[in-house]
Amino acid sequence: MSFSLEYKPGIREYLRGLSSLSRQGRNRLFAMIDFDLRQHGDTLLADANRCLDVEKAIFQYEPAFLDKDGDGLIHHFRIAVDASPAAVGVLRIIYVEESSR
Amino acid sequence: MTIMLLPGIALSSVRSLSEAADRDTPVLLARNLRELALAARVIAGNVRTFWEQSRSLLATEGMQAPELRKNTALFLECLVTLSEALTRINRLARRMGDPLADVCSNVAEVEARVQSLQAEISGVHELVSRPVGPDFLERARKAAEEDPGVYLTHEEMLAGFQDPDH
């Protein structure tokens, strides 16, 4: 089942403001979010290990990739996903943290 | 994945050699140790190549952190086994003295490569194994409770990535 994704205000600015990420890196991140969350979000929701808060239906999604065209480091994103509107086909990306090595 | 089994095979081979050390002739033991040291060098090289392939996959496709955690844990386990095999080869070679000095130097070189690879992979493993901090959860909960405001759709988000002026 595929979902519509919504981004909380401020997240776009945060991701665009990551100067360590190259354009290709941003595209890679976007492609991963599209594939893993929009197209296959049900797999994420079915994995109890990714649930951070059962009551509020908050899940974590953690894409990681090597940004060869940027700083050459591996970037790890921890993304909080609000799945409370999943019943109507929507997942909300509500908080993001990034670390790299 | 067969390559990940090779350090274990090398370790069991060197264990057999340790057990046979007292009854085998020094010449036979020396020859076996030399061959095993060379095999360990090849295994270390192959593990490095395999890790480079994983890095290529990380660059072209990316991975989800749980998958990457399992991957790096497997590499580290494999390198620990290889280190143990190298330590045992080194110990046996030292017991035999000068005739096996070349084995000792070969093993030292391979050990250095293994340690460098271990350090690199450990760094990645730590990166993707950090526990969820209380701050993250608290902020996520707060964000979920806040007035939803104006949300961007994924298409608008994509347009924002593609067009720097968007």
- What ipTM score was computed for the predicted complex, to two decimals? 0.91
Residue of B nearest to A47 (CA): B66
Of A3, A4, A5, A30, residue with least CA distance to A16: A30
Confidence band, pLDDT 50/70/90 cuts, at residue B163:
low
Helix (H) or strand (E) holding A76: strand A74-82
Helix, strand, coil percentages for chain A (3-state, nearest 5): 35, 35, 30
Give the residue with greater pLDDT, B160 vs B58: B58
pLDDT reading at B149 higher than 60: no
The 8-class DSSP code of residue B24 comes to: S
* Mean local confidence (pLDDT), A21-46: 94
Structure tokens at B67: 């998958």
* Mean local confidence (pLDDT), B96-122: 92
Residue of A nearest to B160 (CA): A12
Residues linked to residue A81 through DSSP beta bridges, in sequence order:
A59, A93
* Mean local confidence (pLDDT), A39-57: 92
Confidence band, pLDDT 50/70/90 cuts, at residue A92:
very high
Strands A63-66, A90-100: parallel, antiparallel or unpaired by DSSP?
unpaired
Residue of A nearest to B143 (CA): A94
Q: Return the minimum-mean-pLDDT range out of A35-39, A94-98, B34-38.
A: B34-38
For residue B6, the model assigns a pLDDT of 78
Helix (H) or strand (E) holding B63: strand B63-64
For residue B164, the model assigns a pLDDT of 57
Of B8, B154, B21, residue with least CA distance to B92: B21
CA distances from residue B95 to B8, B83, B91, B104, B105 in whole angstroms, order as listed: 23, 18, 6, 11, 14
The Cα B44–Cα B113 span in angstroms is 8
Closest CB to B59: pick one of A9, A65, A95: A65
Residue A91, min C-alpha distance to chain B (Å): 10
Kindly determine whether residue B59 and residue A82, on different chains, have CB atoms separated by under 8 Å: no
Closest CB to A97: pick one of B63, B136, B160: B136
pTM for this predicted structure: 0.85
Residue pair B37/B106 in contact by the 8 Å Cβ criterion: yes
pLDDT reading at B129 higher than 90: yes
For residue B24, the model assigns a pLDDT of 60
For residue A65, the model assigns a pLDDT of 98
For residue A46, the model assigns a pLDDT of 94
Number of residues written out for chain A: 101
Residue pair A76/A100 in contact by the 8 Å Cβ criterion: yes
Which residues 6+ apart lie within 8 Å of B64 measured at CB? A36, A61, A62, A63, A64
Give the residue with greater pLDDT, B9 vs B119: B119
Residue type, A54: V
pLDDT reading at A2 higher than 60: yes
Confidence band, pLDDT 50/70/90 cuts, at residue B150:
low
Kindly determine whether residue B149 and residue A65, on different chains, have CB atoms separated by under 8 Å: no
Q: Which residue's structure tokens are 């730590």?
A: B126
Residue B108, min C-alpha distance to chain A (Å): 28
For residue B2, the model assigns a pLDDT of 65
* Mean local confidence (pLDDT), B128-139: 92
